[in-house]
Amino acid sequence: MAQTLTLQTLEAENHSFAGTSGVSAANRHLGFIPGFLDQETGAVYCSCRADGTPAPFHALDGLPDHLVLARNPHGHIISIKASVIAGFIRFGNFYTREQAARCLD
């Protein structure tokens, strides 16, 4: 069973891909922007802050409500559907963290 995506999951992924192009700081200069893919629908979402402005990192608060499983008491998203994965968007194509790390490292 797939794990839901949470802030802790994103932190663990950043730790796992540290030192590779599978993290935003290492691939931003090449035109990669953080994003999400809903594997169930194929929809791709750019990472945005709660106010809709682009985020330079993987931010959950800008995702649409239909992906949200839970929010904290302050309204911030803490969990999204298990079918959603974090990755990157470049020239309209979605790359998983693994794909970004492989094609750039």
**Domain spans of the chain, in order of start:** 5-104
Q: To which residue do tokens 């999400």 refer?
A: 36
- Answer yes or no: are the C-beta atoms of 80 and 63 closer than 8 Å: yes
Give the model's pLDDT for residue 34: 98
Q: Is 48 exposed, middle or buried (0-12, 13-18, 19+ CB in 10 A)?
A: middle
Give the model's pLDDT for residue 103: 81
Residue 23 CB coordination number (10 Å): 23
Label residue 105 by pLDDT band (50, 70, 90): low
pLDDT (mean) for 73-101: 96
pLDDT (mean) for 70-89: 97
Biggest distance spanned by C-alpha atoms of the chain: 40
pTM: 0.93
pLDDT (mean) for 75-93: 96
Residue 3 has pLDDT above 90, yes or no: no
